[in-house]
Amino acid sequence: MNRITSFILKNNIGILVVTLLFTIASIVVMVKNIYLETDLDEYMPKDHPSFTNSDEAEELFDIRDAMVIAIENKEGVYNPTTLQKVKDLTKTLGRMEEIQKSDITSLYTADNIRGSEEGLEIDEFYKKVPTADKKLLSIVDAVTTNDMIHGLIVSEDQTATLIITKIDDEVFTEDFYHSIVDLADSYQGDGDKLYVAGQPIIEGTMAILMPKDMKTMLPIVMVLIVVVLMFVLKSFKATILSMMVVIFSTMWSFGIMAAFSIPIYAVTTLIPVLLIAIGVADGIHMFSHLQLYMTSNKDKTKEEKISNMISEMWKPVVMTSITTAVGFLSLLTSEVYPIKYFAVFAALGVLFAMVLSLVVIPAGTQLFGLPRRTKRSEMKSDTFSKASEWFALNITKYKKAYVVWTVLFVLFFGFGASKVWINSSFLERFPASNPIVQTDAFVNDKFMGTTSINVILEGDEENTFKSPEVLNLAEKMMNETIVKFDQIGGGISLNDFLKRMNKVLNEDREEFNSIPDKSDLVAQYILLYEMSGDPDKLWEVVDEDFKTGNYNFQVKTDNSKTLEDILEHLETYKNDFKALGVDVNFAGSGYTLLLFNNLILEGQIKSLVLSFFIVLILLALMFKSWKVGFIGTIPILITAIISFGVLGWLNIPLETTTALISSIAIGIGIDYAVHFIDRYKINALATSDKELTITKTMSHSGRAISFNAIVVIAGFLVLLVSEFLPNQALGAIVSLNMFTSFFGTVTIMFLVLYITNIYFKKKK
């Protein structure tokens, strides 16, 4: 270590120049290659069996997320001006490069299935916009008597209509998003109000707000951390060097991310704030030690003081960085890509900060000089030391009270943890005041819903879906499910085509609005439909062999609890279908969200258990004692219970962002324990005096970790200004976690060290 220290001190300028060059290179790579990813399908593993089945169904039936433009006219949409807008918008969308004409459904393009003297006819509701009242009323009558259109693309109160456009994920860009919004805005007026909604629009809004969020939070967190560092370290030089470490480590981490063409996800936008908040911890501990050493060793040279800082602090800095990185890397157990990438690059950033702290801080201190110590700062330090000693003695005096209160807190929050639920809703990440939330609420209120669950029924043989028995069971499933769940607005399936044809070919009599009772009749209706027009719409609900059917439910929310309840209900029909030789599978955006949900839960449990045991093993190895390893995990165990308890009691869901809580709680919280135990051990072996050990440890490490806790808490509180509700929850809860970890370290863990006589011979 002496050789390394000597090399750092002699080559300080070269080290700083090389560090700066690496940082510039990282920024260049980042600017060229970095991009955002908001498509939920890209969040999950392609080889997962559930996703494989879902993807096959989505390809077979062309199931894609739809973008919708809603036109509202409170006087009613059946007027020449509004109908002309529907026509013009439909044609304009069809001319866009990103959209195919066949993917657009509106009142202008929808199929009007009706009966005539010649048999079955399929045509448009209108080609030329009618102006006469009689023709307008004929459109009203045609729509309101058509269950396949009324409520689906025209609201039941006739005040709103939809233009539904399927789009491919790869064509959706920020420019395309703006062009759609601008197009809708250009048609506002004349009593018409336009809304743009749908999953692609939600994802597009996220793509815009994510970088905006970063631009807002980064300057705030940097200024805040600088202010807090100046407050706790009382040194401009120490503050600048500590900030250089976190800025450089963040740039390096994102530079590598960009070099490997890994996109930025919503959760990885937190990495800069995270690294800036926690990366300064090494600098705080190093400079805190240096300042205390300078106070008691004024006759030492600058090189001796810096060398002492390195020799005394390299071990705890390395240990805490490794345990923090392990806390993050435990998230690799998750199958969700954003969480995996967060784990890797947050851990990389922490390790970069460790290396830079041990190299840049000594080199910079050697080049620019030691932190200045004024008499006033020395007096404050002395006051803090006395307060720390009083605190240590007070805890040992009232140890029973601290233990009892801790047990009560753990029981209370442990019960709260049992109430934690998971919600992978994209929409609920935004505040209720956000325009995208209000727009989606309008569309869900007026129409069937913007989230889809597709029940994929696959028979054993061809023509399964020409069997009235199979069709009637599917009809029972559809009707009972829609009645049971208010949040289901309706759906579309092969049954709707057959019921419509059966009705219109029997003089529009309502008693024929049902599934034909003979297979031959079903086959005749299908043949008539194929002969009467473009059958593409039919192939969206059944395959050409009539072996597989797609039964779609439109849901008015993407809340995971609701979606899970619906899926559980649909699962109850599996045995009935199995008896008819039909397998039940699922697809659609709602099903994808639920799969996402389950992956988050599985990953969270694995991560929590794995990180706890790895940290336990690392602590045992570091301190060469299993007993010390268990003692060191006490604060993070308490913190994990309290953090999940807070989520449960406040009804805050677990999702991609808040799922990081356990790894952050363990990864950062363990730092306090490592620094404290390391200093406790040093003092115990040096003094062999128990009372002196506890007071010296509290005034040294207790001082540093209190500074560390203040900085980290301040840094994470910046997340409260985020545009996303989960980020706000994460900021508040992690800040609470950091206080809990700090307090648990200097109270309960401290008491266990004291009571168990670790590093002291037991008295008879």
Model confidence pLDDT, tens digit, residues 210-250:
777 777 888 888 888 888 888 888 888 999 999 999 999 99
Percentage of the chain beyond pLDDT 70 is: 94
Please report the pLDDT score of residue 41 as a whole number.
Answer: 63
Average pLDDT of span 87-95 = 93
Average pLDDT of span 401-418 = 91
Please report the pLDDT score of residue 65 as a whole number.
Answer: 76
- Closest by Cα among 764, 704, 760, 734 to 313: 704
Percentage of the chain beyond pLDDT 90 is: 32
Quick check: 383 pLDDT over 70?
no
Please report the pLDDT score of residue 124 as a whole number.
Answer: 86
- Closest by Cα among 141, 146, 80, 151 to 111: 146
Q: Name the more confident of 40 and 128.
A: 128
Q: For residue 475, what are its two tokens?
A: 């009809």
Domains and CATH numbers, the chain: 2-41+204-427+595-756 (1.20.1640.10), 435-594 (no CATH)
Q: Contact at 8 Å (CB) between 110 and 124?
A: yes
Quick check: 170 pLDDT over 70?
no
Q: For residue 16, what are its two tokens?
A: 């700083």
Q: Contact at 8 Å (CB) between 326 and 618?
A: yes
Cα separation, 520 vs 516, in Å, equals 9
Q: For residue 517, what are its two tokens?
A: 């009772």
Quick check: 764 pLDDT over 50?
no
Q: Name the more confident of 387 and 705.
A: 705
Quick check: 140 pLDDT over 50?
yes
What are the angstrom distances between the C-alpha of 143 and each of 107, 111, 310, 331, 419? 9, 11, 79, 52, 47
Per-residue pLDDT reduced to its tens digit, 111-120: 888 877 777 8
Please report the pLDDT score of residue 382 as a whole number.
Answer: 61
- Closest by Cα among 210, 205, 206, 204 to 173: 204
Q: Contact at 8 Å (CB) between 108 and 84?
A: no
Quick check: 168 pLDDT over 60?
yes
Quick check: 763 pLDDT over 50?
no
Quick check: 374 pLDDT over 70?
no
SS3 698: helix
In sequence order, the β-bridge partners of residue 196 are: 69
Query: Taking the model in full, what pTM does it have?
Result: 0.75
Cα separation, 361 vs 761, in Å, equals 38
Average pLDDT of span 304-320 = 89
Q: Contact at 8 Å (CB) between 93 and 104?
A: yes
pLDDT averaged over the chain?
A: 86
Per-residue pLDDT reduced to its tens digit, 582-608: 999 998 888 887 887 777 777 777 787
Q: For residue 222, what are its two tokens?
A: 């940097």
SS3 173: coil
Average pLDDT of span 159-163 = 94
Cα separation, 601 vs 335, in Å, equals 10
Confidence band of 280 (pLDDT split at 50, 70, 90): confident
Lowest mean pLDDT, pick from 10-19, 38-47, 354-363, 628-637:
38-47
Quick check: 278 pLDDT over 90?
no
Confidence band of 197 (pLDDT split at 50, 70, 90): confident
How far is the first Cα of the chain from the last one, in angstroms, to the nearest whole number? 41
Please report the pLDDT score of residue 384 as a whole number.
Answer: 66
Confidence band of 493 (pLDDT split at 50, 70, 90): very high
Quick check: 499 pLDDT over 80?
yes
Please report the pLDDT score of residue 381 as a whole number.
Answer: 57
Confidence band of 379 (pLDDT split at 50, 70, 90): low
Q: Give buried/exposed letters for 681-698 (b at 16+ CB in 10 A, else e).
A: bbbbeeeeebeebbbbbb
In this structure, what DSSP letter does residue 158 have?
A: S
Average pLDDT of span 561-565 = 90
Confidence band of 49 (pLDDT split at 50, 70, 90): low
Q: Name the more confident of 191 and 206.
A: 191
Alpha-carbon torsion (616, 617, 622, 627), positive or negative: positive
Please report the pLDDT score of residue 40 as a whole number.
Answer: 61
Quick check: 455 pLDDT over 90?
yes
Average pLDDT of span 426-446 = 80
Quick check: 295 pLDDT over 90?
no
Q: Contact at 8 Å (CB) between 193 and 435?
A: no
Q: Contact at 8 Å (CB) between 322 and 594?
A: no
Cα separation, 548 vs 463, in Å, equals 9
Please report the pLDDT score of residue 567 as a whole number.
Answer: 93
What are the angstrom distances between the C-alpha of 520 and each of 38, 407, 507, 525? 47, 72, 20, 9
Burial class (CB in 10 A: 0-12, 13-18, 19+), 51: buried
SS3 126: coil
37-41-43 Cα angle (round to 5): 60
Q: Name the more confident of 393 and 476.
A: 476
In this structure, what DSSP letter does residue 373 have?
A: -
How does DSSP assign 345-369, residue by residue? HHHHHHHHHHHHHHHHHHHHHHHH-
Please report the pLDDT score of residue 319 as a whole number.
Answer: 87
Confidence band of 46 (pLDDT split at 50, 70, 90): low
Cα separation, 194 vs 88, in Å, equals 14
**Crossing angle of the two packed helices 271-296 and 302-329, in degrees rounded to 10:** 150
Quick check: 169 pLDDT over 80?
no
What are the angstrom distances between the C-alpha of 512 and each of 152, 479, 515, 527? 21, 17, 8, 19
How many other CB atoms sit within 10 Å of the CB of residue 756? Answer: 13
Q: Contact at 8 Å (CB) between 317 and 679?
A: no
Average pLDDT of span 533-543 = 83
